[in-house]
Each structure stands twice: as C-alpha cells, then as structure tokens.
Chain A
C-alpha cells in the first residue's frame, strides 16, 4: 500500500513534468539574415553545445516580442547554447577564479578584461574566424585593455548615470548630480550599485579623485564616503533596479545608460541624468575564458553576435550602445540622436573616464574595503 501511495505521488509529478515539457511550443521563426550562411554550417551535425555566461538582461531572449538570439544561433548552426547569467564583473571573476565552472563565452567589461589578461584567464581569439570583426568601429579597436586585439570583440558600450523618478523628484535635470545620492532628504529613496568598482567610482568622482586611483589613502577615503552614504541607501542592487524603479519604490538609482533607455521606453515617468561632474565610460566585450572546451564554436558565436542584424536586435532590445559600425547605420535616427545612448564626443571627452585595471594590491584593498562597507552597520 505504501508503495502504491508513493507511486501515485511520483506519477503525479511525472505527469506534471511531462505536461510542462509537452506544452512548450515552438515559436514562429523570425529569421535573421546573416552575411555568410556557409560559414555557420561547420558544426551543423556534430551535436555540440557551448556554455555562455552573460550579464542578466543582456540579450534578447524572446520576451516582449523580441527575437530569441540564442535560439536563432542554434537553428543556424546546430550548436546548442547553455545560457546562464551573472550580475557583476566581480561575480564573474570569482566564478572563473574559483574554477567552479567551465564557460566558452563571457562578456566582461574593459577593466576586468585587462585584469583577466594579466592573470592569464583568457584564451586568445583567432580573429580569422571572426570575419565580422571588420564591422567594429575603429575607435573600439586596439584599445587600452586589449591593445593587440587578441582577446576580445566589443559587444556594447555606454556610460553610467542616474535614473530618477520625475513624478517624485522635485529637482530639474540640471540640478541632479552624484551628490543627490548623499542627500539625506532622500533617505531610503536611493538605490546603490551592488559592486565595488562602480560604487567606488561615484565616491571617487565626488571626492575629486581619479576613477583609477591606486592610492591607499584615496581608496580608504572613498570607502568612508560610501559608509557615510549607507544609512540613507534603501538597498544595494544590480538588475533589481528594473523592478524597483518601474514600481516607484525609489527616487534615484545610479545605473548603466542602456538599461535606463530600456526603462524609459516603458515608463514615461523615469528620466536619466548624465552627471556633469564626471562618470565612467565602459565597453563590454566578448571573450573566451581559458580552458574553453569549444573554442571554435565560441568564435562562431562571437561572429554571430557581431552580425550587423543580430547586433541591431541586441542594441534595440537591451538599449546599450553598439560599437558595430554597420549596425549603427541601421539604427533609427531617434535612438542615434537621443543623447543618452550616443552622447556627443564633447561630453565623452570632457566628462567620462574609462576604468583601467588596478594593481593587485589596489584590487585586493578595494575588495576588502567593499566587504567592510557592506558589513558596516
């Protein structure tokens, strides 16, 4: 009898599972055209798969009528994609450094790429396998984090600014700068970056330090500044800001321009400020980590993401700026000229700084200080 009881429980579970998998429907194929279909046929019948580790909300996944990029890639090449996500560069670094997983594709930011290169964590990319690299704008080539163009293919770029709720904030756009995030008038209505580098950058800007300072005193002073802010911060978040800002849970949130564009397109009450006191300009680029099992398939994936039409889908869905010249041509003028995704060169030159990798000692100090800040009462 007991066995029978168990079987019933078990069967119920199986039926549920079967129903779920059975019900999964195939979405109508929205074909994306690629330049050279032949190129993608190499592994068609080999049944291989690649492990992709990307930021959350960083690729069209079929939601809200978008094209599911990974699915399209599988359809075109026969290569399956195991997709998982992380929230910060530091999380990605920890996961790779711990050796607790094997990935074929990762998308770190500039400073993290140089750190990974210096710690021998990246595989060299065979650029011959990435014909679409020619589409990348010249200003994103031979850049400081990868001067010899050996390890990375730019995916997106953007700036960091402040997302704010126009309904509840009584300041005009001109009046908003980083100091609002320290203004106790807005206690508990402020969200803050949940990663050390971006958080430190804000404090460093306010204190007039370089965003790439390695000076112990300056780093400690910045940490003090961040501790001071802690009592008025509602929560330390990353992609949770989508939820919190759209629901009106907070007034201010420093975040990446691309996500601000996505949010503003859906919620009219949200605005974005590019701080005049200075901010970070970042490039996120696709890399292959050391020990990747499917290097060539990974290169095919990189090439696919760099296809002008694929990159267009990506740019339009995730809102980040594209480093792809052919894609940029295809963009609507409205996006090109909105001033947020593609700020004029003057702003970029005058007010933005690119992160550089810090010395191992400075990196270690920043990590320790971050733990201290987060654990501070």
Chain B
C-alpha cells in the first residue's frame, strides 16, 4: 500500500514537472529545435537580457503588482473593519458583491472593465495604460484581502476592543494596540495573495492594458504568437528558479517561526502554571 501510494504521488509529480524540465533542458540547447539536443549554450539567456521589451514589461509587472497589492490591502482591510460592524443584512449584501470578481469568469471581468474604461476614455480622456491596469488589478485583488481579513475579526476575542477602551485607551489607540495585531496575519496573507495574483494575471490585463503598460504575461502571450525563440525557454527557467528560491526561503522561515512559536508557547504555559 505504502509503495503504491508513493508510486502514485511520483506519477502525478512527473506529470506536473515534465513540461517544466523539458523547457529547462531545451533552454540550453544550441539549435532552435524542440526535440533534438545538439549542444550546450547560454546564448538564449544572453539574448533574453538584451531584450528590452521583456525587461520593460517585467518592470511594469512588478510596479503594477506592488502598487495594486498595497492599495488593495489598505482598501480591503478598512472594508473588513467596516463590514464586521455591519448588521447581518448589510454584511451579507456586501460580502455577496465582494464575491463577484472571485466567482465571475476572468474574461467577463476583463471585458466588463474594458467597456467601463472605454466609456471613461470617451468622456474623461482617461487613456488605457497604467491607470486602467492598476484599477483593474485592484478590483480583482481587493476581494481576496477582504476574505482573508474578515475571519480574523470572527476569531478575535470578543469585547477585547471595549476592554481596551475601558482601560483608558482612545478608540484609535485601542484599535492600533489591540485590534491590528489580531488581524495582522490576515492582512499579510491577503497582501501576498493580491501580490501573486497581480504578478500572474493575463486575462484581465489583456483587456485593460494600453500600449504603455504591457505586462510580462502580455509580452509572453505575444511571443507565443510569433516566431518563437528559445529565449522563452530561458525566461521560463529563470522564473522557475526564482520561484523555487522564494518558496524554499519562505518555507524555511515558516518552519523556524513555527519552532520559535512553539518554544514561546511552552514558556508561557510554564509561566501560567
């Protein structure tokens, strides 16, 4: 049984990883062939770093992702605070609308925003470009922030906020001192989720970007529609390596923080005893 499940897991992993490894191997191939290996070269990597279009769109992607995730974290956290104070009906309505961009097919969100921006463009001369792309990204990021922060309010010790006020803190101070630390994990995971969604989004950006704000996924898409150079394999390899590094670092940090927490918990337990 154990062997069988090991075999099964490895088969699924094989399915998930074979395409990626093939791309990595062929990114070092001397010819453009995608089925015959003919020699080792770093030429495609050198070309990639000379490709201004790719570098520029990478820059655009990062700027958009950073701005969109910061703004949507602020917007979403404030929203979660407000929503948690609403009555049952208000809460249900707002959360229902909050779910729309999550449930709706991406292409419909993209198309609907495009129609809105065209309307804006005709009346307020707002061009397709950075602004429209940023608005679109914030729009699909915010719901995830709200969904990550909301449960933290539910988990919060009831009346802790009032307790802080009874002990003489002003409303603002008691929020900073008491509420914020409680909801912080939700804020951070919401931010990270927003950031990664923004980095990777293609469909919505495809409909809402302009000539000055091509993001990396859009550039990759137009690359796949033309004469394809093994540069694209080199790009995949680099992205893969970066992702691996980031995830490994993240995992190590997490494990360490878990250990620290465990010790801390043990300590506090002792103190209470």
Contact = CB atoms under 8 A, between A and B. Distances in A.
Contact of A13 (B49, B62, B211, B222): B62
Interface string B188-201: 10011000000000
Contact of B242 (A8, A12, A238): A12
Contacts, number: 108
A331 B190 CA distance: 60
A202 B121 CA distance: 39
Given A13-B62, A63-B229, A84-B222, A102 B254 contact: no
Contacts of A14: 62
Nearest to B34: A247
Q: Is the interface of B mostly helix, strand, loop or mixed?
A: helix
A3 B249 contact: no
Nearest to A247: B34
Contacts of B59: 17, 21
Nearest to A242: B227
B112 interface: no
Contacts of A62: 50
A82 interface: yes
Interface in B183-236: 184-185, 188, 191-192, 207, 210-212, 214, 222, 225-229
Nearest to A58: B226
B118 A98 contact: yes
A8 B250 contact: yes
A238 B225 contact: yes
A16 B59 CA distance: 11
Contacts of B32: 246
B72 to A, nearest CB: 15
Contact of B188 (A3, A12, A99): A3
Most-contacted residue by chain A among B52, B185, B191, B227 (CB, 10 A): B227
Nearest to A239: B226
Given A82-B211, A84-B211, A57 B55 contact: no
A17 B250 contact: no
Given A9-B246, A242-B227, A20 B49 contact: yes
A5 B210 contact: no
Interface stretch (A22-30, A142-150, A348-356): A22-30
A265 to B, nearest CB: 13
Interface stretch (A38-46, A48-56, A155-163): A48-56
Contacts of A52: 211
Contact of B250 (A5, A57, A99): A5
Contact of A24 (B55, B222, B261): B55
B94 interface: no
Contacts of B228: 242-243
A284 to B, nearest CB: 17
B191 A16 contact: no
A85 interface: yes
Interface in A233-262: 238-240, 242-243, 246-247
A171 interface: no
B10 interface: no
B188 A2 contact: yes
Contacts of B58: 17, 20-21
A25 B46 CA distance: 10
Contact of B185 (A2, A12, A56): A2
A6 B246 contact: no
A242 B32 CA distance: 12
A6 B207 contact: no
Contacts of A9: 192, 246, 249-250
Given A2-B257, A17-B59, A101 B250 contact: no
Contact of B225 (A20, A56, A82): A56
Contacts of A3: 188
Contacts of A240: 225-226
B222 A5 contact: no
Contacts of B253: 1, 4-5, 8
Contacts of B188: 2-3, 6
B50 A24 contact: yes
Contacts of B210: 51, 100-102
Interface string A198-211: 00000000000000
Task: Report, nearest first, the 6 A-B pairs whose CB atoms are least far apart.
Answer: A51-B211, A242-B227, A1-B257, A5-B253, A56-B226, A239-B226
10 contacts: A4-B253, A5-B253, A5-B254, A6-B188, A9-B192, A51-B211, A51-B212, A63-B47, A84-B211, A102-B211
Interface of A: 1-6, 8-9, 12-14, 16-17, 20-21, 23-25, 27, 49, 51-53, 56-57, 61-63, 71, 82-85, 87, 98-103, 238-240, 242-243, 246-247
Given A13-B246, A56-B222, A57-B226, 11 more contacts: A1-B253, A2-B257, A5-B250, A9-B246, A17-B59, A21-B55, A23-B49, A57-B227, A98-B114, A100-B118, A247-B34
